C-alpha cells in the first residue's frame, strides 16, 4: 500500500520517568547540582541541620542531595538544564545565560 505525502509512519516511544532521572544523575553530579553524601562518613557543612538529621535517618546510604550549585527554587533546575533525545538516549544540555535571558524576555512575568 503506497503512502501519500500527508501520511507518515512514526515509531511510538515510551519514555519512563526512571529513565529520565537515571540519565540526569551523572550529568547533574558532574556539574555540581547534586552530590552523593554518606552519613556514616561526613555530611558537608553547607547542609542545614534539619536536612542532615533526615540524611542520618535514611535506611539506604549513600544518598543524593542537592549540591552547592543547586538553585534555591527546585523548579529552576529546568531552566538551567534541558533534556532531549539523541537517538534512543536521553541527554541533558546546560542552557547558557544568554539563552535564559532571551527566554525571560519572551516569558511575561519571568525574570532572572
If one counts every other C-beta atom within 10 angstroms of the C-beta of residue 33, the result is 20
Determine contact, residues 101/44, Cβ cutoff 8 Å. Answer: no
**Residues 78-108: pLDDT tens digits?**
888 888 888 888 888 888 766 666 666 666 6
Determine contact, residues 101/112, Cβ cutoff 8 Å. Answer: yes
Per-residue model confidence (pLDDT) at position 79: 85
Residue 67's contacts (CB-CB under 8 Å, 6 or more residues apart) are 29, 32, 33, 34, 35
C-alpha 71/C-alpha 41 separation (Å) is 26
Which of left, alpha, beta for 32 (phi over 0: left; psi -120 to 50: alpha)? Answer: left
Reduced to 3 states (helix: H, G, I; strand: E, B; else coil), residue 4 is: coil
112 residues of the chain, pLDDT tens digit each: 454 444 455 566 777 888 888 899 999 999 999 999 988 888 888 888 988 898 899 888 899 988 888 888 888 888 888 888 888 888 888 887 666 666 666 666 555 5
Global model pTM greater than 0.85 = no
Percentage of the residues of the chain whose pLDDT score is greater than 70: 74
Per-residue model confidence (pLDDT) at position 105: 62
Note the residue count of the chain: 112
Amino acid at each position: 500500500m503506497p503512502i501519500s505525502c500527508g501520511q507518515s509512519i512514526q515509531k511510538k516511544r515510551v519514555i519512563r520517568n526512571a529513565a529520565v532521572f537515571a540519565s540526569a544523575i551523572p550529568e547533574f553530579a558532574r556539574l555540581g547540582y547534586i552530590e552523593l553524601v554518606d552519613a556514616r562518613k561526613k555530611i558537608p557543612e553547607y547542609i542545614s541541620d534539619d536536612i542532615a538529621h533526615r540524611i542520618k535517618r535514611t535506611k539506604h546510604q549513600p544518598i543524593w542531595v542537592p549540591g552547592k550549585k543547586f538553585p534555591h527554587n527546585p523548579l529552576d533546575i529546568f531552566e538551567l538544564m534541558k533534556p532531549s533525545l539523541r537517538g534512543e538516549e536521553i541527554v541533558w544540555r546546560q542552557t547558557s545565560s544568554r539563552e535564559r535571558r532571551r527566554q525571560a524576555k519572551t516569558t511575561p512575568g519571568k525574570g532572572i
